[in-house]
Structure 1
Amino acid sequence: MTTKSIKLWLAFGALLSGVATQARPESVAEWNAQSIMARGQGNGLNATGHPSVSYEHGEFQWALRLLYERTGDKQYYDYMQKSVDNLVAPDGTIRNYNLQEYNIDHVRVGPTCLHLYKKTGLKKYKIAADTFRSQLETHPRNSEGQFWHKKIYPHQGWLDGIYMGDIFYADYAKVFQPRNNTAWSDIALQFKLQWEHTLQNATAPNSTQTLYHGYDNSGVAPWASADRGHSLEVWNRAVGWYAMALVDILDIFPKTHPGYAMILAQLRHLIPKLRDSADKKSGVWWLVMSQPGRAGNYFESSGAAMFIYASLKAVRLGHVKDRDGSIVKSMKKAYSYALKNWVFENPDGTMGWNNTVIVGSLVSSGDYPYYIAQPINMNDLKGAAAFVMASVEVEAL
């Protein structure tokens, strides 16, 4: 970090509660990651100490990869590897994994297995990656070819599932099947169908022109719209998962395939809409973006962190042009709000993270009362891991 950056973080730190300790890193990204690690989160085990196939852990492992690439500090790589080793047995068996559940969330651990195989050459990581890839071979799909989000949610494609499944699908193809045009076209199809069914029309009430949470192409779900089967509301974290998927898959997807241009076009539409849909005063986003200011709605932290990460990365890599600087300015404003309102310092000097909603699902009514009724969680890994990634991008400025 530059001297100017360090002074900036110190200035922000003065706004946080508590007294800073000498051990606290100057980098917010590192402070956050080290605090998550100190709590033992994302370590491949559940609360009872048993191996757990968790998309949250996969998300944090991705954040650790970015941080290790940025800093070269091996503690981040070692924690990531230990997390996978807690889950993957020496023979490559994935402990407590049931392929027949057909849960697309489970596949999110796959990218870390691929990464470790590329780094170490150890066969067990390839076997584990092969196992996750085999799930996609038989994973149920709707009539158009979209992966079901889970076996228990027939015919439904969720924004979440694109991040969980298709980053790994693409990464696996790049490593082992780079000329498999069928796979690349199938991955592109997942983005195409999800977008076409869930993009919010400009004429919709309170339109953000972003994306509804999911869709059911059979029209059976009680929330499915008559036209495209989309759900009722725009839920911020679902949009966040999709935004991160768009910007991350462009690092992997072949530019020569037509799907690359389609995905890039989606990203170029979405990022400015995220800027424009932020609350004008606070700079962040409502939990239910399609109901701004409605009683019970609130500013939620995980979606905000995901938007900051995806937007700044998209601009940094030149995928999205920010000619007037308004996108970066918007994301810096949102980041400042996060530091002032959702970050706090614990008595032991670790960083705490607040205001991440525990869950959002389309398993029930999928309506506004459902979303706002879900509890928020302190130090929820879904939000904290995303804030590591957001902080990496902000610090890269």
Structure 2
Amino acid sequence: MLTRALALTSLLSCASYAAAHPTSRSVSAAPSSYAIWAADSAIARGQGHGLDSDGNVQLSYEHGELQWALRLLYESTGNETYYDYIVSGATNIIEDDGSVLDYVPEENQLDSIRVGPTFLYLYETTGDEKWKTAADTLRAQLDVHPRTEEGQFWHKTRYPEQGWLDGIYMGDIFYAQYTAQLEPDNITAWDDINLQFELMYDNTLQSTAANNTNIGLLYHGYDYSQAQTWASSDRGHSPEIWDRAMGWYMMALVDTLDIVPADSTAHATLLSQLTDLAPKVVAAADPDAGVWWLVMSQPGREGNYFESSGAAMFVYALLKGVREGYVADADGSIVAAVSKAYEYMVDNWVEDAGDGTMNWEATVSVGSLSGASDFDYYISVDTVENDLKGLAAFLLASIEYEQL
């Protein structure tokens, strides 16, 4: 593993790269590529590099999200800066023998597994066994991960019997990629991946107008035991539809569809869910702004606001879904609606920092089911500038938008 000194040197190298490639942009002058601007800005700040702000090793799902986006950008541009940054960041979180740092198995966090696709990608591109060893460590967790009686992975040990939409994105893209890459004939694994999506969808789908409106999307999560104060009496679902949780799920659908065998039950399940949810997501956008409310089940309520990470995730998932042929859009209405949303994002949430980088605004820092999980909770959480959950999603959305 890199020593802390070497890791910090690597960060400085990334900052030096940005300084050596200045881009002078006024607020009114659009860059040639928002995807490149977003990626270069994250790299210049040292974000998603396997380290926290103090230079300590950090196994972070946010870093995994950014690395996924940088991989796509590298593949579309051929700019090795993005590949090298992935390698450098991933190297910061493993030992030379492939041991994963900052990993606590007993926590059973699906969040930690989101870095797994990076390990698999680097094993594929380098052939270095340390990356397979790291991936094997995270895959082994799934064999012992606690589940509900029906078979849903708990989100974490500290959230017993709870399945969250977030967890599908964190765990099941890796689960599918590992199976496809290393165990393609493991039918049990493919069936289990299918089960994770089926259970989450069936237990969280809004079927009645429990709040101000029935938009037919997925609640943030559910408690199979119905022990939580927020758990509904029918399936134990949470009370609100939170935009980023829904965004995680939509991204998981389109990304996992690329991986699961086309003739599998899992592919049919995911495709069915995506074709059901996609038009509902489009319809849930504010008709004037074109983007989505933080609490989607309470549109327009005082205190609610348009939130940027969920919006970017929807743009990415919907555009990719159409491009891949998963979502039908014969009249172009979905692409038109999503393009309107993307233009709102650029006009309202991208700010020129004045130093060649861009800032990303209006991303809510967190959303949890650990407390009341009601409307007042969601709107009380602060937004954070350049929050990687939103910035990486904007990078993904920009990659798709720029292919139109």
Query: Normalised by the shorter chain, which TM-score bucket?
Result: over 0.9
SS at match of 1:396: coil
1:234 equivalent among 217, 230, 241: 241
**Correspondence 1:68 to 2:74:** yes
Matches within 5 A, 1:260-299: 260-299=267-306
Match for residue 29 of structure 1?
35
* Distance (Å, rounded) in 2 between the aligned partners of 1:204 and 1:393: 34
**1:152/1:326 CA distance change after superposition, 3 Å:** same
Paired position in structure 2 for 1:178? 184
2:5 aligned residue: none
Match of 2:51 among 45, 52, 59: 45
- Map 1:182-201; keep pairs closer than 5 Å: 182-201=188-207
Q: Deviations over 1:80-114 (max 9, x none)?
A: 11110011111101112111111110000000000
Q: What is the letter of the counterpart of residue 37 of structure 1? A: I
Q: 1:117 to 1:321 in 2, by over 3 A?
A: same
Alignment partner of 2:348 out of 333, 341, 354: 341
2:26/2:354 contact within 8 Å kept: no
Are 2:99 and 1:93 equivalent residues in the alignment?
yes
Matches of 1:339 and 1:259, distance apart in 2: 35
- Match for 1:341: what amino acid? N
Query: Which of 106, 116, 140 pairs up with 2:112?
Result: 106
Distance 2:38 2:304 in 1: 27
Find the counterpart in structure 1 of residue 143 from structure 2. Answer: 137
Normalised by the size of structure 1, how large is the TM-score? 0.94
The residue aligned with 2:389 is 382
CA contact (8 A) 1:18 1:346 kept: no
For the residue of structure 2 that corresponds to 1:352, the secondary structure is strand
Contact 1:44 1:87 (8 Å CA) reproduced: yes
Alignment partners' CA distance in 1, 2:103 and 2:160: 21
Structure 2: gaps of 5 or more residues: 1-22
Secondary structure, aligned partner of 1:131: helix
Aligned to 1:312: 319
Q: Are 1:217 and 2:212 an aligned pair?
A: no
**Match of residue 393 from structure 1:** 400
Q: Among 372, 376, 398, which residue is 1:369 paired with? A: 376
Question: Percent of aligned positions with the same letter in both sequences?
Answer: 57
Q: Does 1:331 align with 2:338?
A: yes
Q: Who is 2:156 aligned against?
A: 150
In 2: Cα distance, 1:171 partner to 1:372 partner:
35
C-alpha separation between the residues in 2 aligned to 1:18 and 1:201?
Answer: 44
Aligned equivalents of 2:247, 2:26: Cα separation in 1? 28
AA matched with 1:87: I
* Residue of structure 2 aligned with 1:115, choices 121, 124, 146: 121
Distance 1:283 1:246 in 2: 22
Conservation of the 8 A alpha-carbon contact between 1:17 and 1:344: no
Q: In structure 2, the residue corresponding to 1:78 is in which secondary structure?
A: helix
Deviation, structure 1 residue 19? 7.0
Query: Partner of 1:9 in structure 2?
Result: none
Q: Report the count of equivalent residues.
A: 381
- Alpha-carbon distance between aligned partners in 1 of 2:27 and 2:333, rounded to the nearest angstrom: 33
What is residue 253 of structure 1 aligned with on the other side? Answer: 260
Alpha-carbon shift at residue 262 of structure 1 (Å): 1.0
SS of residue paired to 1:50: coil
Would you identify which runs of 4 or more consecutive aligned residues in structure 1 move more than 4 Å? Answer: none
Give 1:204 deviation, angstroms.
Answer: 4.0
Q: Which amino acid aligns with 1:50?
A: N
Q: Secondary structure at the match of 2:351?
A: strand
**Alpha-carbon deviation of 1:176?**
1.1
SS in 1 for 2:116: helix
SS at 2:75 equivalent: helix
Q: Which position in structure 2 is the counterpart of 1:3?
A: none
Q: Which runs of 5+ in 1 are unaligned?
A: 1-12
1:18 to partner: Cα distance: 3.9
What is the deviation of 1:269?
Answer: 0.8
CA–CA distance in structure 2, aligned partners of residues 196 and 277 of structure 1: 20
Find the aligned partners of 1:311 and 1:210 in 2 and give their Cα distance: 15
Q: CA deviation at 1:363?
A: 0.5
One-letter amino acid matched to 2:115: V
The amino acid that maps onto 1:268 is T
Distance 1:231 1:276 in 2: 22
Greater Cα shift, 254-263 or 290-299:
254-263
Q: Secondary structure at the match of 2:185?
A: coil
Distance 1:108 1:269, change over 3 A: same
Give me the whole-angstrom Cα distance separating, in 1, the residues matched to 2:354 and 2:34.
17
2:167 corresponding residue in structure 1: 161
Matched residue, 1:321: 328
- Contact 2:119/2:135, CA 8 A, preserved across alignment: yes
Q: Give the CA deviation at 1:323.
A: 1.4
Offset from partner CA, 1:170-218 (integer Å, 9 cap, x none): 1000111101000000000000000000011154441111100000111
What is the RMSD of the two structures over their aligned residues, measured on CA atoms?
A: 1.5
